[in-house]
Structure 1
Amino acid sequence: MKVILSALGIAVLSAAIARAQEPTPMTLHEQPQSLPELVFADEAGEPRSLEDWRGKVVLLNVWATWCAPCRAEMPTLDRLRERLGGERFDVVALSVDRAGARAVRKFFDEIGVGIPVFIDQDGAAIRSLRLFGLPATLLIGPYGNELARLAGPAEWDAAEMVAFFEGIIERELEETGVRR
């Protein structure tokens, strides 16, 4: 009887662990949240802000090269950007590496990621967005409001996630009347 109960317990635990590792879409806020102004730099050192993506749904991922889960999820963000990126959606990977854009470019080149380099060397994004760890990802609507937030890594190109983002893109751009 003990063997059966132990086996049953292991099976239940295994199923729970498997479910916890499955990709889950971000939970949308009941109401979109306003965001503080966020200024950062591109690879050439030119100032950028989220206003540059106005009219698009944006997945803003705040990360660093020294963060192991951040490094692991970067290829999935790149594949999501390749699949859905364009006039209506984009992925912005904002590094908070103090080492600067060169460290990020070197990492991207090593793993074959084509995401543009954006850098926030002084960590202002972490403070102004009130983030409590990395990676942290915000889903931003076409008017620059925060629709959802996820703390921790995700498998961004999983079928369930892609379907979730496709639905959000359609809904947001239809509701707001921004670019179809």
Structure 2
Amino acid sequence: MLALALFGALLAVAQPASAVEPPQDFAVHEAPVPVPEISFQDADGQPKTLADFHGKVLLLNIWATWCAPCRKEMPTLDRLQAKLGGPDFEVIALSMDRGGPDIVKKFFAEIGVEHLALNIDTTGKAMFTLGALGLPMTLLIDREGKEIGRLIGPGEWDSPEMMAFIRSHFGAN
């Protein structure tokens, strides 16, 4: 029995950092899968793709100002970006608002978003290309641009469990 307990303790210590359990409802792929090419614009109307962020772990959140659960989770994404954002990680909040960036700017100002960059796809094509069945939908993408997993529906992105899970994919402390 002691040998079994010791083996279990050693196994727990030997687990790689990425062995952190995913939060409830976060679907993780057995192996990372390619993410289809999507295009969108930044706040200045400049074209962007996910390739512009190559080398970073990304949390790509597909949302809209008219989506009540999206509006509720946005402050948690802003806090996550404030806490973990940097050279290794970035939250990309990609709005599907057809009315343009001014609607998103107004919403960000109303709720006090300070750390998220404004990104928008007024065509809605990214949502369909990524297979979003509804909003919000969030993908965790590795440094090579492959999807680690996704959450359909809102998340509490700045919770200790979620932050530990995300950190485990880029080695932040």
TM class by shorter-chain length? Answer: 0.7 to 0.9
Aligned Cα root-mean-square deviation (Å): 1.3
- Tell me, which stretches of 5 or more residues in structure 1 are unaligned? 1-22, 172-180
Bigger-Rg structure (1/2): 1
3-state secondary structure, aligned to 1:61: strand
Provide, for residues 68-95 of structure 1, a one-character-per-residue CA deviation record: whole Å limited to 9, x for no partner: 0000000000000000000000000000
| Contact 1:139 1:147 (8 Å CA) reproduced | yes
Matched, 1:62 2:70: no
| Contact 1:25 1:160 (8 Å CA) reproduced | no
Say how many residue pairs are matched.
Answer: 149
Provide, for residues 39-86 of structure 1, a one-character-per-residue CA deviation record: whole Å limited to 9, x for no partner: 100011000010111000000000000000000000000000000000
Task: Give the TM-score normalised by the residue count of structure 2.
Answer: 0.83
Provide, for residues 115-171 of structure 1, a one-character-per-residue CA deviation record: whole Å limited to 9, x for no partner: 111000010111111110000000001011111011000110001111111111129
Task: Give the TM-score normalised by the residue count of structure 1.
Answer: 0.80
| Contact 1:96 1:122 (8 Å CA) reproduced | yes
Which residue in 1 is equivalent to 2:136? Answer: 135
Give the share of equivalent positions with the same residue, in percent.
53
* 1-structure distance, mates of 2:131, 2:168: 27
Structure 1 runs (4+) greater than 2 angstroms displaced? 23-27
* 1-structure distance, mates of 2:27, 2:136: 16
- Tell me, which stretches of 5 or more residues in structure 2 are unaligned? 1-22
